[in-house]
Amino acid sequence: MHNHPQICLYCCEVNSVRKHGLAASGSQRYYCMSCKKTYQVKYIYQANEINIQRQITALSDEGKSNIEISRLLGVSLRVVDRIINQMALMDSLNSET
């Protein structure tokens, strides 16, 4: 019986995940042989979580300030600023096409 994820968090490929050592924090790392990505199931710092970008975007769309978003999600203001700037850049590139 395996005690690690059987489905990749990125590509959702079944049975392509294997253990890939330990992170500096001691958490188990995993590697997907299909998409060649490594990840952890549990992170210490919230900015590494997969859905943090969606949460930041949603809170920004609700009119929350960057400082409020930072405090609500437990990430640094720098991370919030970076993600919002990336989203603005993507929007401007999409509007040019």
Do 32 and 67 have their domain in common?
Answer: no
Give me the number of domains the chain comprises: 2
Q: What is the distance between the alpha carbons of residues 15 and 6, in angstroms, rounded to a whole number?
A: 5
53 plus 84 within the same structural domain: yes
Looking at residue 57, its pLDDT comes to 87
pTM: 0.52
How does residue 3 score in pLDDT terms, banded at 50, 70 and 90? low
Residue with tokens 């990336």: 86
Residues 27 and 58 placed together within one structural domain of the fold: no
Same domain as 51, residue 39: no
**Domain shared by 31 and 73, yes or no:** no
CA distance 55 to 2: 31
Q: Is the pLDDT of residue 12 over 70?
A: yes
Tell me the average pLDDT across 77-83: 89
pLDDT at 95 exceeding the cut of 80: no
Check whether residue 54 and residue 88 sit in a common domain: yes
Rounded to whole angstroms, the Cα distance separating 3 from 23 reads 17
Structural domain range at position 90: 46-96
In degrees, to the nearest 5, what angle opens at C-alpha 70 toward C-alphas 27 and 89? 95
Q: What is the pLDDT of residues 20-74, one digit of tens each?
A: 999 888 889 999 999 999 988 776 666 666 678 888 989 999 999 999 999 998 8
What are the backbone angles phi and psi of residue 86, rounded to the nearest 5°? -65, -40
pLDDT, greater one: 35 or 14? 35
Does residue 40 sit in the same domain as residue 2?
yes
